[in-house]
Structure formats: structure tokens, C-alpha cells
Chains A and B, each alone.
Chain A
Amino acid sequence: QVQLVESGGRVVQPGMSLGLSCAASGFTFGSYGMHWVRQAPGKGLEWVAFIWYDGSKKYYVDSVKGRFIIARDNSKNTVYLRMNSLRAEDTAVYFCARDGRAASLDYWGQGTLVTVSS
């Protein structure tokens, strides 16, 4: 069955960098685009970034453009999110999700918590 497992979340200070990983299994990873979505404590869902199945195109929400980088390694069935210049407002649970039919996010990981605090 499809499984997505995020890792890398922890407490970091403002201005620091952090990398998240999402390991996929149970499907042909290299055939699907992948998303990162975040949810601040007590808030709604916010889409963060999307990468095409082959990594050729990447899209970001305005608030992270120039600071976050989405990447993937299809040989390792893993999608990454490199987060630089972190701010308090980046504090959230970060989910990875598979891009399914009609731009739906059809499978989600359990999420990893990133806390940006001094």
C-alpha cells in the first residue's frame, strides 16, 4: 500500500536552515508529482511547494519563494524540502502528499513538526 513517511522536523532558531525528507513506498514514485503542505498550530492547511514527477518543474507559495527548495531523488523514492532563513511563522506540521488525479493530493504522510523559536 502507499506509504509516505516524513522526517527531519525539530526545533530550530530563527534564521537557521533545516531539511525535511519524505520517503515513499508502495507505488511507482517516479511517475508522480509530490507536494509539501503545512499546518501551523490551530490553523488551516497551507500548500507550500510542488515538484513534477521528473523534477523538471517546481512551484512555491509566495511566502517561501527564495527560502525553500523542493527536490527529489527518484532512485531513492524520496522528496525533500530544504528550508532556509527560517522564521517563527514557518512553525508548523509539514506533510508530504502525492499528486493524484485532477491535481488532488490523494495520499498523505503523517507529518513532521518544525518549530522555529529562539
Chain B
Amino acid sequence: QSVLTQPPSASGTPGQRVTMSCSGSSSDIGSNYVNWYQQVPGAAPKLLIYRNDQRPSGIPDRFSGSKSGTSASLAISGLRSEDETDYYCAAWDDSLSGYVFGTGTKVTVL
């Protein structure tokens, strides 16, 4: 089963803007919405962004998503210490008839 490709790590200092990419193909990101999840180690994932760029209720506007073609990105502005954790992109894949997750990006706040 294919996965979406994310950089293993990203970092920034408090207050900075950090971005991370998510690369897919025509059958997943290219054809469907991208969603982003935040996961603190040892806890369940939490939905951060849905439908490419929409935030669920309670998610601060520091988090933003975008999509272009077969790639997507997540940006965190005004980086805070509590943002130091793991982030995953995901999308439905039409050719696999299944949901695929990204490889995950660990954000470090320096």
C-alpha cells in the first residue's frame, strides 16, 4: 500500500512559521481532499485540518492547510512549545480504494 511522503522533521523557534509538505499522486491527493492530524506520543491522533484547508472547531487559526495538484502542505504560524509533536497528512486513494497516511513529520521547537 502506498503512503504519502512527508519530511521526517521540521523545526523552528517560538513565534516562527513552520511548514511541512505532503507529496502524493493523482489517485490520492490529486483526486481527493487532504486531511491533517496531530498526534502527541502515547495519545490518539486529533483532526487538525480537513478538506484541504478547513479547521475543525477549537483548532486555532495558527494552523493552516493548502493543496496544489498532487501535493499539500501544513503551516504552523506563531510556533509554540506545545506544537512540538507529530503531524500526519492523509487522503483517500481511489486506485487502492483505501485511506493512506503520510509518513509523518516530527516538529521540534528549538
Q: Which A residues have a C-beta under 8 Å from some C-beta of B?
A: 35, 37, 44-47, 50, 59-63, 95, 97, 100-111
Contact = CB atoms under 8 A, between A and B. Distances in A.
Consensus secondary structure, chain B interface: strand
Interface of B: 1, 3, 32-33, 35, 37, 39, 43-47, 50-51, 54, 56, 88, 90-92, 96-104
A81 to B, nearest CB: 15
Contacts of A62: 1, 96, 98
Nearest to B93: A47
Contact of A95 (B1, B44, B91, B92): B44
Contact of A103 (B45, B46, B56, B91): B91
B33 A47 contact: no
Contact of B98 (A47, A107, A109): A47
Given A45-B88, A50-B99, A100-B50, A106 B56 contact: yes
Contact of B99 (A35, A95, A110): A35
